[in-house]
Structure 1
């Protein structure tokens, strides 16, 4: 799984949520908690470090050998970890199990985001995406990572100028929130997807633009997609360019 964070606080919060998501028996997948190089990785801001008792009330207790049999060494039940799986063996089945777990993770991500808000009071949308002023919008800016904060200001500025613009912050690239993107794309005429990476030779723009277009490929009556690329390599994105 891959989650994108917009602030230092969100990085901390996402790590806490990751334990509850990744260690769920129906998921059991590794996860990247991604954030912007230089903009976040080389800067500092105040972060609320929660009380350990409160964190313990949010995170489930570590299961025993009956709950997590794959994590306990038992000579009566030998297991192999990290060994080569040949194509003639269970490689295909193994990859399918990973895919199925990734799909199941969507609902777990959403439920954990709700639990997190109840205990800590910080909202991250439905967990997979976070909308900002999308009600009545004619244009939706699809964005991820730390640019989301700048985009919020750009949306506010454009709204003051009379433009009906909103923002959709992608919190996860994997699993990709296909259903959420389809629902949003049915409500606005145009979605502009802002990538901070290139996809050399691709006709669809950046990698996230490709994901959005693929999600909407077979769906009728959805928004036109306008790919954009900005802020490569951590370069600063000017406010007027944003707007």
Structure 2
């Protein structure tokens, strides 16, 4: 999978029952993320932290799908361990984990290390994460090695950026941006549109090149 690719519909066997991806996704954003294997320590922390933040994803209209190459019965055992380990998970585990023992989905999404032999008995997935918009396009990809756990706050920040820039169209979010911080007006944005959206409530940075390409504003919602 590459950025802006359309994710084709697929069947999934999960801890929440079987579904077709498009039926599950509906008109929501999707975070689909993979793990090297069940009963691994770093993966357990990631699944637990995302479960704890479920309300944050829900208010952004985001559904979560986890993925691991192990079979369904071990997923069920693993979920019990995660809920026990992460004491702040209350009630039922909130999102499905796909069972992919044939590695079919892992191969389709490119979740394996380069050059790895696609052997259903031995191949392990890297920590791949895909943010998918309601039109089923891949909008952001994060790839981590098995040794490095993901940051849930960064996932939420990326979703906030994607949703904001989709809505406003003529802005981008700078390095280390968080909601409420200044956004950058795109250099090729139509001047009439800029005035309609922001009036004169934006700042132009004067640069030695005298080129006007850094314009920022906090006048957005």
TM-score normalised per structure 1: 0.24
Larger helix fraction of residues: 1
Larger strand fraction of residues: 2
